[in-house]
Copies of this chain bind each other. A is one copy, B any other.
Amino acid sequence: MTKYVIGIDYGSDSCRALVVDASNGKELAAAVRNYPRWMKGKYCDPAKNQYRQHPLDYIEVLEASVKEALAKCPAGVAENVVGISFDTTGSTPALTDENGTPLALLPGFEENPNAMFILWKDHTAVKEADEINNLSKEWDIDYVKYEGGIYSSEWVWAKVLHVLREDEAVKAKATSWVEYCDWLPALITGTTGLKDLKRGRCAAGHKAMWDPEWNGLPDEKFLTTLGPELAGLRDNLFEETYTSDVAAGTLSPEWAEKLGLSTDVVVGVSAFDCHMGAVGAEITPNTLVRAIGTSTCDILVAPYDEMKDKLIPGICGQVDGSVIPGMVGLEAGQSGFGDIYAWFKNVLSWPLQFLDDEAQRKAIEDKILPALSEEAAKVPVEESTIVATDWLNGRRTPDADQTVTGTIAGLNLGSSAPRIFRALVEATAFGSRAITDRFAEHGIEIKEVVGIGGVAKKSPFVMQTMADVLNMPIKVSVSEQAMALGAAMFAAVAAGVYSSVEEAQSAMGQGFEKTYYPIAENAAQYNEIYKRYIELGKI
């Protein structure tokens, strides 16, 4: 009897449920739902880099997407679903009460952005991240050493500290915090109480300074020195963490009924989207898997004998088992990628406000990026005289710094929109090279890149530019949904269909549809222009 698993991918804007055949990874059906409040721009303030998401958004889309996906499947599929796993954005934490419930679900907090999930790209906690970095340097234990040596304002402790300082009401009610990759499994398994909430290795190790070397999270003294606001939280958090091959539990009766599934369905411990996406994209050592969308998340795995005791500075952490149990998972990434193109599209769309016909406006907006790509591709590399940095959303890797900003230099009166767009595409590719260079400088070899995500699938101009700049081949996964597929692989392992992640990859992987090879002549020219990118970054 065929078994099925469901991988559920929570992205920045939407949730996607993917039903796959556990024997071969083939997709039976998928369904996507946008977060309704988020799509209205609620609780966000882009000028302040404040981005919050309401837990009700997550709940509402979960039921809708899973039910829609199952409804598209042939009869008999729902009955034979054996596992569900989630992948989500991160670090995207929320403060919770003593039951692990995000505060925004409690009366009085429904409209309070500080009681909601703080999206990965929220950069309101720049000051707090600085404080964590400064205190770490003084402390006898270097709590950030496995997190690239720099704590980012995108990560949980900085965000939690910032919100507790900002908001008395939230501070008074907050008992603990939770990443939503850990909260969603708790929600649908009916787990209540903080002690039973299983925390994933991935989020804890990469973002929360969790490591067995110091028995878990940083000690209470460190946290309260950082800010007295943090006092007592640690006792309501966790010591153990779990890799995603482990089951978090089974579906609660309530959620089994909501989703039309059995209470026997195993729910896996979940992880961040790019980590599961890397598994879905069949990651192996020496291959950098890049999830390329609004930002990038870049994942490597290194066997213990290659990793030894290396510490790679300025990345987003190196954590045993965060990707594949039995190997060290390394994370890097660019804070802005497709978001930068979207920003430029938004800037160019500004005059379209004067069009009364909304359908006409939307039609033109949709043409902007494809047409810019087409025109930009015609510009010879030697005419790429505009140079930009890719830090419009700060910098994640190498050397996290949310205070840096984007710069566009080399402008003249002939600098057209497509030429500026080309410079922005090159900037994102140069930012990619800064990452591969960092790994190479520290003896972790990257031989090829695998691209997943919207930009990888849909933007040949961007991908060819990146291949030229990196001077490496880039393979693009067949799967439209590598993240959800990765979650499905983990669900299959957690449910006992396979005994290891590697076995699931081998059976369920969908292969590659296309390879972009670097053009030698362009690579040589970009090698020179890259030096100007590095110089520009010094201002």
Contacts and interface: CB of A to CB of B under 8 A. Distances in A.
Interface of A: 46-49, 336, 339-340, 343, 346-352, 354-355, 360, 363-365, 367-368, 371, 383, 385, 392-394, 405-418, 420, 535-536, 539
A422 to B, nearest CB: 13
Contact of A411 (B46, B48, B392, B417): B392
Given A407-B409, A539-B409, A414 B351 contact: no
Contact of A351 (B340, B349, B394, B416): B349
A393 B413 contact: yes
Nearest to A339: B413
A409 B336 CA distance: 16
Assembly of this chain: how many copies?
Answer: 2
A384 to B, nearest CB: 12
Contacts of A420: 347
A47 B351 contact: no
Contact of A350 (B49, B346, B348): B348
A307 to B, nearest CB: 35
Contact of A347 (B349, B352, B360, B415): B415
A237 to B, nearest CB: 32
A410 B408 CA distance: 9
Given A351-B348, A364-B354, A368-B351, A407 B411 contact: yes
A375 to B, nearest CB: 9
B405 A412 contact: yes
A81 B354 CA distance: 48
Given A49-B413, A406-B411, A408-B409, 6 more contacts: A48-B414, A347-B417, A351-B368, A354-B367, A393-B413, A406-B409
Contacts of A412: 49, 392-394, 405-406
Contacts of A392: 411-413, 415
B406 A407 contact: no
Given A347-B348, A539-B536, A414 B49 contact: yes
